Amino acid sequence: MWFELLNFIIGIAFGFFHRGKEDRLGILRNGAIIGIVLGIIFVIVSTMFLVPGSISVNVGFLGVFSIFIEIILFVIIFIAGTFLGDWLEGLRKKSP
């Protein structure tokens, strides 16, 4: 659970500090790329070093396929955080 929360917070920071025009497709593409990298890193860390034999979200009953599901979940969480951060940045720009 802690990796998912950290991933979400990093996504919010990425969306908030991403400067430039509010390009939703560009943010989605960059968020997906960074989310895949972070997902792979977090899955490797959680499966090999912290909790051998299990992963943070319990989808281990699916075998190797569960690693791909876990990475997809991390990507979705990161992208949600990215859009939330972008929305917060837009609110900050609109306020006087």
Question: What is the C-alpha to C-alpha distance for residues 3 and 42, in angstroms, rounded to an integer?
Answer: 7
Question: Per residue in 31-65, pLDDT tens?
Answer: 888 888 888 888 777 766 655 555 455 555 556 67
When the pLDDT of each residue in the chain is averaged and rounded to a whole number, the result is 77
Beta strands in the chain (DSSP E): none
Alpha-carbon span 42 to 55, nearest angstrom: 9
In the chain, where the domains are located:
2-94
Round to whole Å and give the CA distance between 85 and 15. 4
Greater confidence (95 vs 33) lies with 33
Whether the pLDDT of residue 76 is over 80: the answer is yes
